[in-house]
Amino acid sequence: MADTDEQKDWQAETADEGTAADTAKTAENTEDTENTTTDAAAEDIAAAEDEDYGVPMDQVEAVLNATADKDSLTPQMARMMARQAENTKRVEETIKGTKSNPRWFVPLFCTLMIIGLIWAVVYYLTTNYPIPGIGAWNLGIAFAIIMVGFIMTMWWR
């Protein structure tokens, strides 16, 4: 009963003062309280998730970053850390074994295909050039240049 009397007194005081400045302060306090409540709720959720899995998230991050003390790890965490190390080693070996083409390879085959296309278009438009006097063999030359470029794409790594 005493709580409700105090609440009524507080409500009466607030209603009597009722100025705009007080209303603004009340709004600011409400926002601060909501932000604090939201932050606290987020921390509670994180703590609840840690409790669900039985392992704090900072410990999981330490294991993944390989900065954890190996003596204090649970068997599950030790297995996870070993798997992570094995996967990392496998990826590094794969990268080392990968062969790549020289830097000029891609521009060369693109250029060859474009030159062959231009050669064919020029022949179709002029019927005499790029090499006068050989006639339709210009199309054969254009096709050969395009095919060399296309075959190079199959060797691209």
Q: So what's the pLDDT on residue 52?
A: 60
C-alpha to C-alpha distance for 21 and 126, rounded to whole angstroms = 86
How does 49-59 read in b/e, with b if 16+ C-beta sit within 10 Å?
Answer: eeeeeebeeeb
* pLDDT per position as a tens digit, 53-105: 666 777 777 666 666 666 777 888 788 888 888 888 888 888 777 788 899 99
The confidence score (pLDDT) of residue 20 equals 47
Per the CB < 8 A criterion, the answer to whether 105 and 153 are in contact is no
Tell which wins on pLDDT, 135 or 24: 135
In angstroms, rounded to a whole number, what is the distance separating the alpha carbons of residues 62 and 78? Answer: 12
Amino acid 42: pLDDT: 64
Where do the structural domains in the chain lie, given as residue ranges?
2-97, 105-154
Dig out the tokens for 103 from the structure.
Answer: 């830097």
Half-sphere exposure of 38 (CA within 13 A, CB side): 6
pLDDT score for 56:
73
Question: How confident is the model at residue 92, as a pLDDT?
Answer: 84
Cβ-Cβ contacts under 8 Å for 60 (sequence gap 6 or more):
77, 80
pLDDT in tens, 108-134: 999 999 999 999 999 999 988 899 999
pLDDT (tens digit per residue) in 7-61: 555 555 655 555 544 554 554 555 555 555 566 666 666 666 555 666 677 777 7
